[in-house]
Amino acid sequence: MKLADISKDDTVYLTIKGNSKMELPVEIIGVAKDSLLVKGIKVNGRVLSFTCESKISIYLTLVSSDMPPILWHNIAVCNVKVNGDTIHQIRCANDGIEINRRQEFRVFTGINCNVNHDKTRKPIECTIKDISYNGVGIVSKTDLELGNGERIEVAFSDSETRSMFNITGQVVRTTPHNGKYLIGIAVDSSKAYKNYVHQKQLLVVKKNAKKSMRA
């Protein structure tokens, strides 16, 4: 996929890695053959200053709910003046790398969580096996005896992204899993939760992109 295939309504993030790391959403205002024009990218209210020779690593990621994220590397970002305003031009001659759907939409975490439902008086400690935009898989040491369609609440924190969530959803399946029980949950997704999943997916995208580049 090329930059020219991106539309103005797509969700796109720019990752900038130098002495520190930033992941910033961008607002597309125009699409050309091998570049995007986006509103001036700001940090702390100030538009970032780039030159085409900036010695930093920059990645661009397209995120969609119905396809795997796509990553562009070797990105060049330049400041452009239009009617007195500073905008950014993002250029890349390479095609974006699409990561395998199964790998990308389901991110494995291993994060501890607390589960609440109507049949318990206190939270039950479980482990989040994987997450996606619309679901969570948790592992319990015991059978929680939950039927499909029952409501459940999962609370967890992630030190990697400094995030805390209390998500709700309904059970869609319970299956034996290595001597324990794997519970699939269709979650009530929020924008904050989807952004969190994007952050976790982005790490997988970069790892797979590096593998592809070494292959």
Residues 109 and 77 in one domain: no
Residues of the chain falling short of pLDDT 50: 101-104, 212-213, 215
pLDDT number for residue 141: 94
Residue 203 placed within a domain: no
Residues 16 and 90 in one domain: yes
Residues 113 and 190 in one domain: yes
Residues 53 and 139 in one domain: no
Residues 48 and 126 in one domain: no
- The CATH number of the domain holding residue 183 is 2.40.10.220
- Tokens 């049949």 correspond to 119
Residue 206 placed within a domain: no
> Is the CA virtual torsion 40, 43, 44, 47 positive or negative?
negative
Which of 73, 98, 123 is a domain's end point?
Answer: 98
pLDDT number for residue 151: 93
pLDDT number for residue 172: 94
Query: Which pair of tokens denotes residue 110?
Result: 């291993």
Residue 210 placed within a domain: no
Residues 59 and 141 in one domain: no
Residues 177 and 147 in one domain: yes
Render pLDDT for 122-163 as a digit per residue (tens, 0 to 9): 899 999 999 987 889 999 999 988 889 999 999 999 988 888
- Which residue spans within 94-162 are E strands per DSSP? 97-98, 107-116, 124-131, 135-140, 151-158
User: Taking the model in full, what pTM does it have?
Assistant: 0.53
pLDDT number for residue 102: 42
The total domain count for the chain is 2
pLDDT number for residue 171: 94
Percentage, residues of the chain above pLDDT 90: 31
Q: What is the C-alpha separation between 42 and 27, in angstroms, rounded? A: 11
* Per-residue DSSP letter, 168: E
Residue 145 placed within a domain: yes
pLDDT number for residue 53: 52
Cβ neighbour number for residue 9 with a 10 Å cutoff: 6
Cβ neighbour number for residue 205 with a 10 Å cutoff: 23
Residues 23 and 66 in one domain: yes
Give the range of the structural domain holding residue 157, as residue numbers without chain letter.
105-198
Residue 204 placed within a domain: no
Q: Is 147 exposed, middle or buried (0-12, 13-18, 19+ CB in 10 A)?
A: exposed
Helices (H), the chain: 101-105, 191-214
Which of 62, 80, 98 is a domain's end point?
Answer: 98
Average pLDDT, the chain: 82
